Chains A and B, each alone.
Chain A
């Protein structure tokens, strides 16, 4: 089984361009999340979803949009890329319920020039 799959693995954008980072999971998990990792700052939550049709903002949502039309997919959209969005992006999924862990994809390294 693939787990959490992110595409692309690398991307270079020009300032002002838009793009969508894809995330798919095959574990039938209800919860999905997007994080960004910047040097010295750990992972920070951008947006999350507790089920199809339900999304909410995390700690650093500005400049990003999400939607969740299926259980499997949770794309992250950059509307107008800025150099401050240069980062490594991780998608995660987890089961519902009490004490469960999140499973992470391999990440997308995004550079905005």
Chain B
């Protein structure tokens, strides 16, 4: 039972354009959502998060949108850069339980020159 789903295994985007990565969840109890970026042979690194009381959070080139009614969130990267090429994981948890993250399967983003 996959509670957090990333249905696109891969995405290719031209440098300078927008990258949109999507994530769906089924457990309505989740109230905190995070995006992690992972390079090969490294651990995941935190990118951006959003609480369920918000519908948008921005940090520089990265924006996360949350649609609670649709149980859907998306990560927008504008403009995309070659260094953004990595695997992106969506994760969800309950507030106060950062030790228990439920991850999606990841989307591999390739930003082309």
Interface residues of A (CB under 8 A from B): 4, 31-33, 35, 40-45, 48-50, 58, 90, 92, 94-107
Q: Which of B42, B95, B99, B105 contacts A102 (CB 8 A)?
A: B99
Q: A42-B104, A42-B106 are in contact. Are A102 and B43 (CB under 8 A)?
A: no
CB nearest to A6 among chain B residues:
B43
Residues of A contacting B105 in the complex (Cβ-Cβ under 8 angstroms): 40-42
Q: How far is the CA of A96 from the CA of B46 in the complex (A)?
A: 16
Interface range for B: 20 to 34
Q: How far is the CA of A58 from the CA of B46 in the complex (A)?
A: 21
Residues of B contacting A33 in the complex (Cβ-Cβ under 8 angstroms): 99-101
Residues of A contacting B41 in the complex (Cβ-Cβ under 8 angstroms): 106-107
CB nearest to A32 among chain B residues:
B99
Contact, CB under 8 Å: B101 / A95: no
Contact, CB under 8 Å: A104 / B49: no
CB nearest to A9 among chain B residues:
B41
CB nearest to B96 among chain A residues:
A98
Residues of A contacting B49 in the complex (Cβ-Cβ under 8 angstroms): 99, 101
Q: How far is the CA of A42 from the CA of B3 in the complex (A)?
A: 12
Residues of B contacting A96 in the complex (Cβ-Cβ under 8 angstroms): 96, 98
B44 at interface, CB cutoff 8 A: yes
B32 at interface, CB cutoff 8 A: yes
Within the complex, what minimum Cβ distance (angstroms) separates A15 from chain B? 25
Q: How far is the CA of A40 from the CA of B51 in the complex (A)?
A: 27
Q: A42-B106, A99-B49, A101-B49 are in contact. Are A107 and B99 (CB under 8 A)?
A: no
